[in-house]
Chains A and B, each alone.
Chain A
Amino acid sequence: MSRAAVVNAAIALSILAVPLYALAADEPFLITLATRAAILALAGVGLNIALGQGGLVSLGHAAFFGIGGYAMGIVAFHAQSFTPLMIGPLEFQGSKSMPLIWLVAILSSGAAALVIGALSLRTSGVYFIMITLAFGQMLFYFAISWPAYGGEDGLSIYVRNGFPGLNTLDPIQFFGICFALLGAALWISARLAASPFGLALAAARQSVARAQAVGLNVPRIQLAAFTISGMITGLAGALFADLNRFVSPTMLSWQMSGEIMVFVILGGTARLFGPVAGAALYVLLEHLLGGISEFWQIYLGGLLLAVVLFARGGLVGLLAGGAR
């Protein structure tokens, strides 16, 4: 086993070990913390497909995270208030079933990523960063000014949605669902990176001109990667909303985009387990430093600055050494 594989396994095991310990010690708050880390990691795994594998620096992934959250909020809201949603002549009763909600979240965030990606990928470099940021803000302001689903106040869902055969109200079972989905996303991400598609994507990241010269359709490959990336982040958004039983425009805010990017970078760009390590570290810091000082984000800022300036491989790079 290579050193990177050992580090990856250690990261995965530690995320799994914390809630199991918490279950034994009867500390449900720790389980919630680990669930939060797993969900944020899932969002980071999504972004990492665009950012790490594709080199597409998107500062607007909160759009997909929030769309996933609102997909959960809207579908569950219609079920809990018994007000069917009319889509043309069709009547939709809403649902409290997680698999259906996930499907809606993945499809709607994928559709949004397809449109935003198609427009944004006409540009590159700094323009791409700013345009993804601006599209994220567009949805943020739309969510604030659209009154039907709570506007600025957000939308509360009173009971967590169900999953057939499991009791999602039990923290450890909900953690299990999130952990399993994170595992699935990591598997997809790894398979993607090793597939011909992933190789083409990596080639386009390293040199668009050369990738085009060997006959690759770079815009289409990048758009596909961006869409897949948005879908996974959207799924994370639906889970995040279910964890909090609340969705608000904050999930769409640009700070959220920045944070998702921070997970990826703290952990290590283009590393399969980078976002997992980054999100776990972020949640840990938030918990520990938040207990010490109200102004804990100053320390987070300092740490992030240090990582960017001096430790470019992030946490996984520091532990595992060498390039991927």
Chain B
Amino acid sequence: MSWLLLIEQVLNGLQLGVMLFVMAAGLTLVFGVMGLINLAHGSLYMIGAFAAAAVAGATGSFLLALIAALGAAAAAGALVEIIVIRRLYGRDHLDQVLATFALILIFSEGVRWAFGSFPLFLDIPSYLSGPVSLPGGILYPAYRLAIIGIGLAVALGLWALISHTRLGVQIRAGEADREMIAALGVDISKLYTVVFALGAALAGLAGALVGAIQSVQVGMGEPVLILAFVVIVIGGIGSIKGAFVGALLVGLTDTLGGFLLPQLFALFMEPSAAGAVGSALASMAIYLLMAVVLIVRPAGLYGEPA
């Protein structure tokens, strides 16, 4: 095992982690402020990716594609919030799960109807397609490095938004006491729409960025959605800081588990069996991590004890 390979895997883990954070931030914000569990968050991720692929195909500009992803996902989010989601705030979680599950069916089949079942491809822009040489002689893809940079910038931007702006004050107040800030004259239903659209835009951005590494297809959102759930359960639901720590933990565990576990088992097993056992265990590693966190802290790392 070479150190260069290990560092590369750590960077891959970071890249997965920051993307999971961008996904999970919207999810945890919506839960923190509105108390809503939104399974359709993965559909917004998919919408962002498809909007980006369509615009990139038409204009050839990756930047325009990212803007389209943000815009399309935010618009879809705002629309869904106004038509469906706002009827669910007072309902119990079971109704929310089912209604948003229904939204997944509608979004997935709608996108399949509009774009077909074949995956689309979103090309990495030429100025980011090559490798970058890092100190120590590591060659790492520039695009993945850019994703890490964008993810960290989003984290910083969210922190600034929540702790230093008027909207951020309202969001924090909404988490603490909904009735009170409504009584103080804040237009609560507009605030909810804005928060939901903000979360949706972040999901769309993540979808577009990841869509350029993987393929853009129907159903791409749900595996990421479930990882994002694991992230916010580990971090504590409603906590942005928890989502950040949880996302990095999950990203690193998943990537390093897939890399190290087969090698670990190869120390005392024959190679083919070690590969099978190692990769099977690695695919379960993040869920085991989640189970351990919950046994120690049932409300997550940064969650308020229920």
Contacts and interface: CB of A to CB of B under 8 A. Distances in A.
Interface of A: 51, 57, 59, 119, 122-127, 129-131, 133-135, 137-138, 141-142, 144-148, 254-255, 258, 261-262, 265, 269, 295-298, 300-302, 304-305, 308-309, 312
B299 interface: yes
Nearest to A130: B229
A183 to B, nearest CB: 27
A312 B291 CA distance: 34
Contacts, number: 125
A125 B284 contact: no
Interface residues of B, number: 44
Contact of A146 (B84, B98, B113, B276): B276
B283 A134 contact: no
Interface in B88-113: 93-95, 97-99, 101-106, 108-110, 112-113
> DSSP class of B's interface residues: helix, strand, loop or mixed?
helix
A145 B93 contact: no
Contacts of B294: 119, 122-123, 127, 131
A206 to B, nearest CB: 13
Interface in B204-234: 222, 226, 229-230, 232-233
B99 A123 contact: no
Contacts of B298: 122-123, 127
A145 B283 contact: yes
Contacts of A304: 98-99, 101-102, 105
B27 to A, nearest CB: 10
Interface of B: 31, 37, 84, 87, 93-95, 97-99, 101-106, 108-110, 112-113, 222, 226, 229-230, 232-233, 237, 276, 279-280, 282-284, 287-288, 290-291, 294-295, 298-300, 306
A147 B279 CA distance: 10
Given A134-B226, A295-B109, A129 B279 contact: no
Nearest to A307: B98
B98 A261 contact: yes
A281 to B, nearest CB: 15
A125 B96 CA distance: 12
A138 B94 contact: no
Contacts of A148: 276
A1 B209 CA distance: 61
Contacts of B84: 305, 309
A119 to B, nearest CB: 6
Contacts of A133: 226, 229
Contacts of A135: 287, 291
Contact of A308 (B31, B99, B279): B99
Nearest to B272: A147
A86 to B, nearest CB: 15
Given A295-B112, A301-B103, 6 more contacts: A57-B93, A129-B97, A130-B232, A145-B280, A298-B113, A304-B105
A301 B97 contact: no
Contacts of A269: 94
A141 B226 CA distance: 12
13 contacts: A51-B94, A57-B94, A119-B295, A122-B294, A124-B306, A127-B300, A131-B290, A134-B233, A135-B287, A137-B226, A142-B284, A261-B101, A309-B87
